Amino acid sequence: APVVLWFRRDLRLGDHAALLEASEHSKHVLALYVLDDALLKPSGAPRVAFLHGCLKALDDQLGGRLMLVKGDPVNEVVKAAREIGASAVHVSADTGPYGRRRDVEVKKALAEHDIAWTETGSSYAITPGRITKPDGEPYRVFTPFHRAWARHGWPGPADTGESIVDWVEPPWSVKLPKSPSLKGMELPEPGEKAALERWHEFLDDGIETYDEDRDRPDRPGTTRLSPYLRWGCVHPRTLLADIAGNEGTGAKSLRGEFAWREFHADVLWHRPETARKNYDSRFDAMEYESDDEAFKRWCAGRTGFPIVDAGMRQLLAEGWMHNRVRMIVASFLVKDLHLPWWLGARHFMQHLVDGDLASNQLNWQWVAGSGTDAAPYFRIFNPTTQGEKFDPTGEYVRRYVPELRSVQGKAVHKPKDVKGYPAPMVDHAHERQVALERYGAIKGT
């Protein structure tokens, strides 16, 4: 009997463990994707547009045989599986809170029709939840998790591709909906082929200098793979296998970043409520401001702090922001404006093309101090010195803040009465004290 391969966050055909597993049960596989409003409605336009591009690319790889349906997966997956007389539905595990709840229901509905449910692999090198401390407790700190993760290891890439099975002609399919307007924002090329091209380009000329350049927003020093990893256009095991045995500083540092992605997913798996709530519940008592005007200025990149404004405008222009700058703008929102992290996290999720619940919410919490961070809470970024240090020639700021283009060199980080550019909206030294007092009050409890 044929089987269904239900694609979710694994929009590729190479290194696809669930496809390999499906092919061992049947040579006739129906490729299915469900457009689910529960996921699509809250997603920002860049993420939806990129997803549509990835679906189009996947459909092309499948010779037009991707079955696209719209609606509640509980009904749609069962309907499709029954229509072709499938014996099983194969998936890569989705370990996010919504995906887990949904899959319990879909699995139950399939069981009523004697259709098997098979989960193989996930979007991670090691499926979240698998690594625990020797006493069975989850890790709460990155470094020991990272060590255990590396020690645990993972199998090599699954040997799959488009011709491993015969793709079943879809019994019906809806048209890919029109993508939302991006107002001039340019997104990366979607799909598996583009992901691998970007990766190979990085292996050719980025990996050696990655460790030196990764903190420099003015340089194109990082992989820019985050949107592809988000939608599973490439699997991390492929990437890890390609740099296995490379003990250079670049490869080592990159493995560490991949491990951060896995750590946050692991934390969210063990504590799904941290998508919304503080990981460290002492922070529930934190005093925040509610200042719409200040929040709007932050969102628009009009704070008067050049590195913050450059980052926020990069986000609006590209749907992506450099990691160092994500940390700086997040710290500014929480520690200089005293606004709650979840407001910033929501804005990021609306605009990031790589918006990912685990990486976003838990990085925000990490910066806010309410997350898994082992770093002392009194470490508060000074946005001006951060700018001077990581954008030493001011090139990054000038690229995204046209009002400051006439200011040469690093002086751009301390603009003086530049026409059209706002004065700093707060006094950092003062706000730092306020933040310290508020943190002190809750940390002591």
Known binding residues for FAD: 210, 222-226, 354-356
CA 321 to CA 323: how far, in whole Å? 6
| 203 vs 442 by CB, closer to ligand FAD | 203
Judged by CB under 6 A, the stretch of 73-81, 146-154, 218-226, 302-310 that binds ligand FAD is 218-226
> Which residue's structure tokens are 């129906």?
30
Given 229, 268, 308, 333, the residue binding ligand FAD (CB under 6 A): 229
Given 92, 122, 223, 314, the residue binding ligand FAD (CB under 6 A): 223
> Which residue's structure tokens are 């072709």?
84
Checking 245-253 for CB contacts under 8 A at 24+ apart, the result is 246/207, 248/207, 248/208, 249/210, 249/211, 249/212, 250/206, 250/207, 250/208, 250/209, 250/210, 250/211, 251/207, 251/210, 252/211, 253/210, 253/211, 253/214
Given 92, 122, 160, 222, the residue binding ligand FAD (CB under 6 A): 222
Given 258, 269, 298, 342, the residue binding ligand FAD (CB under 6 A): 258
Given 90, 264, 347, 398, the residue binding ligand FAD (CB under 6 A): 264
Residue-wise burial string across 387-396, b where 16 or more C-beta atoms lie within 10 A, e elsewhere: bbebbeebbb
CB of 422 to ligand FAD, least distance (A): 23
Site for ligand FAD in 107-146 (CB under 6 A): none
| 207 vs 404 by CB, closer to ligand FAD | 207
Q: Is residue 348 a contact point for ligand FAD (CB under 6 A)?
A: yes
Q: Is residue 351 a contact point for ligand FAD (CB under 6 A)?
A: no
Judged by CB under 6 A, the stretch of 113-121, 326-334, 400-408, 433-441 that binds ligand FAD is 326-334
Given 98, 173, 219, 260, the residue binding ligand FAD (CB under 6 A): 260
Widest pairwise Cα distance in the chain = 73
CB of 156 to ligand FAD, least distance (A): 20
Q: How many CB atoms lie within 10 A of CB 148?
A: 15
The answer to whether 117 and 291 have CB atoms below 8 angstroms apart is no
Is residue 117 classed as helix, strand or coil in its secondary structure? strand
CB of 19 to ligand FAD, least distance (A): 22
CA 3 to CA 90: how far, in whole Å? 7
Q: Which value, in Å, is the radius of gyration of the alpha carbons in the chain?
A: 23
Q: Is residue 350 a contact point for ligand FAD (CB under 6 A)?
A: no
Given 280, 356, 373, 388, the residue binding ligand FAD (CB under 6 A): 356
Q: How many residues bind ligand FAD (CB under 6 A)?
A: 27
| 69 vs 330 by CB, closer to ligand FAD | 330
Judged by CB under 6 A, the stretch of 12-20, 26-34, 50-58, 220-228 that binds ligand FAD is 220-228
**CB neighbours of 140 closer than 8 A, spacing ≥ 6?**
372
Which among 336, 351, 349, 353 has a CA at the least distance from the CA of 295?
Answer: 336
- Please report, in range form, the residues annotated as the binding site: 210, 222-226, 354-356
Q: Is residue 55 a contact point for ligand FAD (CB under 6 A)?
A: no
Q: Is residue 326 a contact point for ligand FAD (CB under 6 A)?
A: yes
Q: Which amino acid is at 63?
A: G
CA 305 to CA 329: how far, in whole Å? 10
CA 282 to CA 280: how far, in whole Å? 5
Which residues of this chain interact with ligand FAD, rule CB under 6 A?
Answer: 214, 222-226, 229-230, 257-258, 260-261, 264, 323, 326-327, 330, 348, 352, 354-356, 359-360, 363-364, 367
